[in-house]
Amino acid sequence: MSSTDNTIRPDVRAFLDMLEALQQPQIHELPLADARAAAGKMAEMADIPPLDLAVIRDLACPGPAGEIPLRLYDAKDSRDPGPVIVFFHGGGFVIGDLESYHSLCTEIAARTGLPVVSVDYRLAPENPFPAAPDDCEAAARWIAASPAELGLEVTGLITMGDSAGGNLTIVTTLALLDDPAQVPVIMQVPVYPIASAIEDHDSMRDFGDGLFLTREVMGWFTRSYAPDPESPRNYPLLRTDHSRTPPTVLLTAGLDPLRDSGREYGARLAASGVELTSIEAEGMIHGFVQMRRALPSTAADMNALFEAIERVLERRS
């Protein structure tokens, strides 16, 4: 599909025009600390305020290189045993943290009615591949064990994340299929994930300039992360067998350089007989789940996402 097949939404066009008028350097042109601060400021500017919840609590779990910071979100102050969403933030494995995804996580908890644990995994370049997937797997296993510090009896995991976090969603799910945790992954929700090499995709060619996420920024992320291009823990589509993947809700964006990687992953799951709900936000750019104030039309896409998650949960009950 070429860019002419997916018309940009009016609110997306206005947002991109505003960013262009600011004439700010791209994030990869900034010093690392400034780039991370800029990502936080962008989320604060573009996203809606966080919701008030009964529980918002910071905690930590053991990891392969020390404690991994976590944040628990719950719309209820107490609950019966049930599933927990394990959330992995985006940011190219280089930027992003608990704070920049705080508002989104409050909405996920409120809309799904489930506890959410956001994972603050180690970032590159200080901690290159495989630090991020190592931390995410360790956190998921800890949550699955229902530790006293969590204060929940966990019956299943729902892995979820966007962009780099979408990659970590898939990679963590696969790790827990190969070596099960104390409870299973019952669903995964990758949002515009990186599942394969993207350099030669049509979507990178068509949308790699002027639509928020650029090929230059993606190149910076990749160089910083320094992954193994032959490892399924980097590109999960290198794995041949996906037939045991749990029910999956996949969200892609029509004007995203990563779009074709997500589509390719969805096609592989469908061909493998996996229960798949695939949603594409047409005319939308990468990163939109953190731009709900700047891009009001995302409300319909977020509704579709949460309704799909609810349908999967209903089929399990």
Residue 4 clears pLDDT 90, i.e. is over it:
no
pLDDT of residue 317: 78
Q: Determine contact, residues 183/157, Cβ cutoff 8 Å.
A: yes
Token pair of 99 as six digits: 């704070």
Mean pLDDT of 226-248: 97
pTM of the model: 0.97
Structural domains in the chain, CATH included, are: 3-316 (3.40.50.1820)
Q: Determine contact, residues 10/18, Cβ cutoff 8 Å.
A: no
Strand-strand pairing, 154-162 and 185-191: parallel
Q: How confident is the model at residue 316 (pLDDT cuts 50, 70, 90)?
A: confident
CA distances from 236 to 122, 172, 239 (A): 20, 10, 6
* Interval 158-172: pLDDT, tens: 999 999 999 999 999
Q: How confident is the model at residue 3 (pLDDT cuts 50, 70, 90)?
A: very low
Among the residue ranges 2-6, 128-132, 150-154, the one predicted with the least confidence is: 2-6
State yes or no: cis peptide before 125, omega within 30 of 0.
Answer: yes
**Smallest Cα–Cα separation from 140: which of 90, 100, 184?**
184
In the numeric block, the tokens 């609110």 are attached to 11
Active-site residue list: 163, 256, 286
Q: Determine contact, residues 54/74, Cβ cutoff 8 Å.
A: yes
Token pair of 2 as six digits: 């070429």
**Smallest Cα–Cα separation from 192: which of 94, 131, 110, 264?**
264
